[in-house]
Structure 1
Amino acid sequence: MTGNRHLPSVAAAYGAQGFGYAAIVTVLPEFKDRLGISDIVVSLLLLGTCLAAALGSVAAEAIAVRWGSGRALTAALGAQAVALVGAATLGNLPLFAVALTLYGIGLGGVDAASNMQGVLVQRKAGRQLLGRFYAGYTAAAIAGALLVAGLLALELPAVIALFAAAAVHSGVALLGFDPEGTVRQRDTGGSLPWPAIRIVGALVFAAFVVDSAVATWSTVYLADGLGAVAAVTPLGYAAYQAAVLGARLTVDAAVARSGRTPVALGAVAAGLAGCALVAALPLVPGAIVGFAAAGLCAGALVPIAFSAAGAVRPERSDEIIATVNLFNYAGALAGAVLPGLISAGPALRAAFLLPAVCLLLVLPLVRRVDRLTGAQGR
């Protein structure tokens, strides 16, 4: 089997993940009203989902080591499909929380196993592919958000989006995975390369601090901090997502041409400049440009980091990727929670120095990525 043969099915898994995640987070306001719950309860549900995702990542590693990452990915997609149907149909808070927890487990499992499969396909194809896989995730997430918006505009129930996402996950689970055939990573003797895991994990952590901070607080800052009109406030996140998609569409070619380290350094520099611009220039155009620059950083850094993780020790790549994936959720929590604790209103712009500091701290580690993974990461 070749990497090219499995490329469409693995790409579909990334797309299903993005579509489903966008669908469920954008229907939360409707469920908040339907279940009569407060913002605090919504925050606790999201926190529980994030913790469940970490558990799902660990479960994906265990399944992948014993039966292969293809089966781990199929199981996680199936769990998400069941959870999405449950979330759409269950009418009370405890059962909805159970469905959301199951979704979180599936979310973490797909995050880890899709990266395992993506790295294996990339290795067999002999070329960089992870950026394009992540571009599929981003494009599908945009499609999921637009679907919910269209349903609401037509005064249709947004839960239709959850049924659509469940159907997509079920369909993708039937495609079949595992480009390594019957090869399993059963040789788990010896310790994992923890110094390399910490370095690559730090890059993932910083990227998701940026991502979560912009996703959670960009609209709030434009509205409450800069007094932008309602029609303008979503533009910061829209510019961010457009930049993420652009970075992911081009990062594979850039890495193939120049290596991981130079491209990662450029991504970190763009993120530093973008976050600093938001913090230093309290103007709507400056903030939107800054969020776009941050998108270039997160868009490129995530696929570079997971690609590097898979190349540290190829015979243990499933375990290493699942472990590195845990840094994702730590970064997402930090980026979502800490800016709001640091400041509010106009002063919220200073909170965007938090992702800048994270990027500054990992800057020395970026220079070590190619040394971890071989000549120029190619």
Structure 2
Amino acid sequence: MGADLRRARAAIAAAFLTQGLVFISLTTRLPRIQDRWDLGELALSGVLLMMVLLAGAGSLLAERLAPRLDSARVLRAGLLTVAASVAVAVLAPTTVVFVLGLAAYGVGLGLVDATGNMQAVALEHRLGRVVLPSCHGAWTLGGVIGAVLTIATAHVAWSAVALVALLPLAAAFAPYLPRDHGEAATTTQTDVPWRPIVLIGLALVAFYTVDTAAATWGPVYLDDTFSAPEGLVALATLPYLVASGLVRLVGDRLTERVGAVRLLRVGAAIAFVALTVVVAAPSWPVAVLGFTGLGCGVAVVAPLSFSAAAALAGRDADPATRQARVDAVVARFNQFNYAGALLGAVMTGAVGAGSLRVGFAVPLVLVVALFWLARAFAPADAVAAPADA
């Protein structure tokens, strides 16, 4: 690997890490946000719905901007948007300003999600081997750091949380992967094989339903259902992220050795058992054990989804056409992310308005679909083929 690719890989990992740290720093503080702005479960669900819809809009905006401006530039713009919006939301003097800050954060979230994955897929294709699991592992590492910070700073002044905005500000100036779209960037993408990509997308919906439910409602679950100590509610998220991060960091090798299809089916079985433990937990430590197992089970679904979708999009195409197709697919494919986030964040809260045990039954049911959908991930195995040759 050349020095430029090493620097780009470090920069892409930094963007994923920053995104995870900021997101988890906010979601693990939802109980505190609820108290600060006097929000009930339904009101909080409405705010999260707005943020998810605007994140989807940000992802579609990235699809339009990336071919014209380069995904690296759009990624930088997204990181700057995240930095500014987080500062506004945390320091907001009124509920209206707080909501506007979260709205802007939603747009920035979508921009960074889409272009970060564009960058990671481009790096994967240049290296000729699977790297997306470890890139997503950097996101998870950032989330772990964010959860630890939440626990460590549970009693600091609320305004101090605004310092988190310095991280995306710094990441905006990292040396990302320059991308030459060539003339093919202006062509239409009518020949993209959307039907098999949709099957992979459905698996991504199931994953983000589970993931967002754990990250968003896990701390509230421990707080409301078990009356866990306030400083420990982030433990719903922290062990989940640690387990997920460890699996993702070795996910590149696991995929090459075991294969994506088999790896996903084993993970789905683990996730089903883990969610059953979460729903039936008699105490908050048992629920934490369930969340930990859940992190192991679903860790590689998202990165392998993007690998498989990008492999299908770029099949039998020259480099410039493949670049244009993959960018279009990654941005649109990211919408499955937000569909899952919608189910995980909004439906879990809405269905679980009376009891979050019932709310967590939503991801419990949907995770079963991963057993059937795993077969659509066979193209992800082909990404590693050049490295094995």
Q: Distance in 2 between matches of 1:101 and 1:344?
A: 23
Q: Distance in 1 between matches of 2:25 and 2:301?
A: 25
Offset at residue 364 of structure 1 (A): 1.6
Alignment equivalent of 1:54, drawn from 56, 66, 69? 56
- In the other structure, the counterpart of 2:142 is 140
Paired letter, 1:354: V
- In the other structure, the counterpart of 1:176 is 175
Task: Answer whether contact 1:3 1:122 (CA < 8 A) is retained.
Answer: no
Change (3 A) 1:339 1:258: same
Asked whether 1:101 is paired with 2:103, we answer: yes
Alignment equivalent of 1:318, drawn from 324, 327, 331? 327
Paired letter, 1:329: Y
- In the other structure, the counterpart of 1:287 is 287
Change (3 A) 1:41 1:285: closer
**Cα deviation digits, residues 68-116 of structure 1 (max 9, x gap):** 2112211211211221232244423333322221111000110111011
Task: Answer whether contact 1:277 1:286 (CA < 8 A) is retained.
Answer: yes
Paired letter, 2:341: A
Identity of aligned residues (%): 32
Q: Distance in 1 between matches of 2:140 and 2:14?
A: 12
Paired letter, 2:204: V
Asked whether 1:332 is paired with 2:341, we answer: yes
Q: Distance in 1 between matches of 2:178 and 2:95?
A: 40
Change (3 A) 1:246 1:94: same
Change (3 A) 1:288 1:160: closer
- In the other structure, the counterpart of 1:240 is 240
SS at match of 2:299: helix
Change (3 A) 1:234 1:80: closer
Change (3 A) 1:280 1:65: same
Q: Distance in 1 between matches of 2:230 and 2:150?
A: 19
TM score, norm. by length of structure 1: 0.86
**Cα deviation digits, residues 163-188 of structure 1 (max 9, x gap):** x3322212211123234346573332
Could you tell which deviates more after superposition, 54-63 or 300-309? 300-309
SS at match of 1:20: helix
- In the other structure, the counterpart of 2:198 is 198
Alignment equivalent of 1:354, drawn from 354, 362, 381? 362
Q: Distance in 1 between matches of 2:366 and 2:230?
A: 31
Offset at residue 288 of structure 1 (A): 3.3
Q: CA RMSD in A?
A: 2.9
Paired letter, 2:108: G
- In the other structure, the counterpart of 1:260 is 260
Q: Distance in 2 between matches of 1:278 and 1:331?
A: 19
Alignment equivalent of 1:116, drawn from 107, 115, 118? 118
Q: Distance in 2 between matches of 1:30 and 1:229?
A: 13
Change (3 A) 1:235 1:97: closer
Q: Distance in 2 between matches of 1:94 and 1:283?
A: 37
- In the other structure, the counterpart of 1:249 is 249
Q: Distance in 2 between matches of 1:15 and 1:232?
A: 23
Offset at residue 128 of structure 1 (A): 1.9
How many residue pairs are counted as aligned between the two chains? 372
- In the other structure, the counterpart of 1:166 is 165
- In the other structure, the counterpart of 1:91 is 93
Task: Answer whether contact 1:144 1:161 (CA < 8 A) is retained.
Answer: no
Task: Answer whether contact 1:343 1:350 (CA < 8 A) is retained.
Answer: yes
Task: Answer whether contact 2:203 2:369 (CA < 8 A) is retained.
Answer: no
Paired letter, 1:38: L
Task: Answer whether contact 2:24 2:146 (CA < 8 A) is retained.
Answer: yes
**Cα deviation digits, residues 18-64 of structure 1 (max 9, x gap):** 12223333455656566x44335443322211111010010011111
Could you tell which deviates more after superposition, 102-111 or 131-140? 131-140
**Cα deviation digits, residues 256-295 of structure 1 (max 9, x gap):** 2222212122221211222234445646565333322211
Q: Distance in 2 between matches of 1:234 and 1:170?
A: 25
Paired letter, 2:334: N
SS at match of 1:190: coil
Task: Answer whether contact 1:258 1:376 (CA < 8 A) is retained.
Answer: no
Task: Answer whether contact 2:150 2:234 (CA < 8 A) is retained.
Answer: no
- In the other structure, the counterpart of 1:72 is 74
- In the other structure, the counterpart of 2:214 is 214
TM score, norm. by length of structure 2: 0.84
Q: Residues 37-48 of structure 1: matches in 2 within 5 Å? A: 37-39=38-40, 40-48=42-50
Q: Distance in 2 between matches of 1:78 and 1:350?
A: 38
SS at match of 2:19: helix
Task: Answer whether contact 1:30 1:158 (CA < 8 A) is retained.
Answer: no
Q: Distance in 2 between matches of 1:146 and 1:296?
A: 19
